[in-house]
Amino acid sequence: MKQFFYLFTLIFLTNFATSPVHAQNGGYIYGKIVTIDGKTFEGPLRWGKEEVFWTDIFNSSKEENDNLQYLTRDQRRELEERHQSFGEGFVNWIASSISYRMDEYDHTHQLVCQFGEIKTIKPFNRNKVEVTFQNGTKKEIKGEGYNDVGTDVKIIDAELGEISISWGRIEIIEFGEGNGKSASAFGEPLFGVVETYEGTFTGYIQWDHDERLSTDKLDGDTEDGELSIEFGNISSIEREGYNSSRIELKSGRDMDLRGTNDVNSENRGIVVTTEKLGRVDIPWKEFKKVEFLSKPSFPLKKYIDFKGQRQLEGLVVTTGGETIKGKIVYDLDEEYSYEMLQGKDNHLEYFIPFGNIKKIMPKNYDYSNVELKNGEKILLGERQDVSDHNTGVLVFKGGNDPIYVKWEDIKEVSFN
């Protein structure tokens, strides 16, 4: 009887100890790659040297904007004149793909979503693909200006091990729930607490918009020579001025590094995927220190967690007191819960899925109050989604043509 009890206890403790690892493995991108000649590879995926988790961001440019057909000629002309008045600098600033042809702007935008939202990616060529989302909707997109289209894709095949497949060889990529094995062969996720001049953020970390795994390396120069240190060996990184950083290892050793964009002002930013506020992009000038933690305080999202994608629905309250209820197209572009709202709080930039948003309330020309469904509130500005550069909202009531509401006439947008 005692032997049975000891055996049961051993099995329980073993399962308990390993369950967090399997839970984390479910957070890695997983799928099947079919090549142009019919070969199949299946396993965890990594997009080039970057994206590896379902919460990582897929960036591209939408092929066209069909919602412009619902605007009158006068409404379109007003938008064109408005964007012309912003000038060429604004066109670059909003990071939208607004092209000028035949005396009209086509008002196409970025597609920004998490990898977990995607069901398949089918390349047409090196710059154009068809994306199918988990809810079955499809979009043709372009990769101009973004490296997520056209890059090589690494996969850890169960039989063959790791292989890097050229984009030109890919017929289709089919995403799905992983089997909980092999994913951590890429490395463990970086998790920690980031101190900034605007506050403290806890979550999964991307360093320099790039490194996000324990096997990725931090490069820098010391007085004794060049170093390349695996992030899994690092306990903390603290900025010292603009052009150097203090590195402390888990062993207790520490050193000053300089000379590369991993440790100086050329760093592109530190991204933290938080549990409540979405994705926060922290520029180098706002960064103070990061402490890496061995045990995450919340798990990575799994593929199944992205199910339930839907069209945006809710109501718009105008400044004139009218309430309009129906399907919503925000900024003449965002239609689904998987798309993301972008805005800045001082120097920090936020990327929040529309599915997490309860209300957007324009405050003035530059800022809007954003309330999340979990109760969090934040004031965001400086980006098209939350400023007077927003192109307005369409509200579809039943089967009728939509009602167009200009941004300056909006008091509040509420989502179901």
Average pLDDT over residues 160-187: 87
- CA distances 257 to 159, 241, 260, Å, are 40, 12, 8
- CA distances 275 to 271, 321, 410, Å, are 13, 35, 30
Bridge partners of 405?
393
What band does 75 get if pLDDT is binned at 50, 70 and 90? confident
Listed range (83-87, 249-253, 346-350) with the worst mean pLDDT = 83-87
Q: Render pLDDT for 189-204 as a digit per residue (tens, 0 to 9).
A: 999 999 999 999 999 9
Q: Quote the DSSP letter at residue 79.
A: H
| Helix H or strand E segment including 93 | helix 88-93
Q: Is 311 left (phi over 0), alpha (psi -120 to 50) or beta?
A: beta
When comparing pLDDT for 104 and 131, which is higher? 131
Centroid of chain to Cα 57: 3
* pLDDT, position 182: 61
What band does 82 get if pLDDT is binned at 50, 70 and 90? confident
* pLDDT, position 313: 97
Cβ-contact 332, 107 below 8 angstroms? yes
When comparing pLDDT for 94 and 294, which is higher? 294
CA 363/CA 391 separation, integer angstroms: 16
pLDDT at 25 over 70: yes
| pTM of the full structure | 0.87
